[in-house]
Every structure is written in C-alpha cells, then in structure tokens.
Amino acid sequence: MKIIAVGWNYQSHNAEMEQKERPQAPVVFTMPETALLKDGKPFFLPHFSNRIEYETELVFHICRLGKNIAPKFAHRYYDTVTVGIDFTARDMQAEARRTGNPWDIAKGFDYSAPIGKFVLLPETPDKADHIDFSMSINGTRVQQGNSNDMIFSIDHIIAYVSRFYTLKMGDIIFTGTPAGVGPVKIGDHIEGFIGETRVLDFLVK
C-alpha cells in the first residue's frame, strides 16, 4: 500500500507558515508504509528532532484500482475517511527548506502518520463535501477544519495523483492540514474527530 500526502492544501495553514504563493497544482509527497501508526498505539517522540509538530488531516481510503481517473469519476475510488496526524520534525523540515533539499525524513520517519478508525461515506458524488474534523490535546480543541476549505478537493487530488501513480485498493491519501499546527510533548493525549465522532485516540510518550 502507498501513503500519499498533499501539502499546502489549506490557505489558513499556508498563511500561518508564511507560504505566500497559492499552489497551482496539488503538492504531492509520499511516505513509507512504516510511517503508519494504527489501533491507538502510542507515539514515541523521536530523539533526532527537538520540535515534533502535529498536523491534523482528513485521510481517505482508496477502494479500487485506478489510473488516469477523470475528476467526475473520482468519487467512486474512495469509500471511507478518518482523521490522521502528519507528525513533522519541524526543525529538520525548516533546515531542508532553507537549503533547498528534500524533506522526506522530516515527514516520513517511522510512526509519523497515526490514523484513526475509518468511517463509511455515503455513495454520492458529493460525499466528501463539508466534512468537519478536529483534534484535541488533553481535552482542549487545538485544530479544526472542513473539507470544503481544501484548495484541492479529494476528487481533484485523486484525478491529479492517478496521472503519475496507479492507485490500488488499500492506499490512503492525507489531504493537508488547516491552521493551528503546534508541538507535542510527552504525556499529551491526542484525540481526533469526524464531526462529533471520535475516531482517533492515542498518547504521546
């Protein structure tokens, strides 16, 4: 399976990160399967970074094989959604951006991509519109967003990505984060929600 992720997909986050240029196409990167963290297992802060930050995202599950998918048919290729955290070694990413080097290790290190329980979407073309999601740390909501605020919708992302990668059943797509990213520390209790339904729940150790 593949983990495909999209950066700079919420204008609110781009503003807080002082990213002034609006992307003209989805900014796509991939993470290895070893980045996945599932089933509520704890996330252990790595020793190679002094600042690990959370980025809360909607994560869509690919349910069928597809290549060069037309946007009008893209809704047929995903069936469930959950909340995921794109943990980022922000200090390492900042240095990579400064030097113009790739920042894969700042995003794709082991267990950097916790995901929650997937929930079923209705079988309608507009099923990904207006999905509310949020994340809380120690009972305090720190980030929230809505799929309608994405610069590039999941249908657009699927159509774009499938030009370059064959999508297979079981692949997942992280769709970007809204404003409100921040650091985590040992002892933090992280919960993610689709609407009012808790789908993600784990500890930072």
Q: What are phi and psi of 91, to 5 degrees?
A: -65, -40
Q: What are phi and psi of 151, to 5 degrees?
A: -65, -45
The single-letter DSSP state of residue 19 is: -
Q: Please say if the pLDDT value at position 78 is more than 80.
A: yes
- Looking at residue 140, its amino acid is T
Q: Which of 180, 39, 31, 182 is nearest to 107 (CA)?
A: 31
Average pLDDT taken over every residue of the chain? 96
**Cα 9 to Cα 5: distance, rounded to the nearest angstrom:** 10
Strand partners, 140: 137
Task: Give 7-24 pLDDT, tens digit per residue.
Answer: 999 998 978 887 778 899
Task: Give 105-149 pLDDT, tens digit per residue.
Answer: 999 999 999 999 999 999 999 999 999 999 999 999 999 999 999
Alpha-carbon dihedral 140, 14, 156, 133, rounded to 10 degrees:
10
pTM over 0.85: yes
Give the DSSP H/E element, type plus range, for residue 40: none
28-53 average pLDDT score: 97
Structure tokens at 164: 């370059």
**How would you classify the pairing of strands 78-85 and 56-62?**
antiparallel
Instruction: Give the CA diameter of the chain.
Output: 45
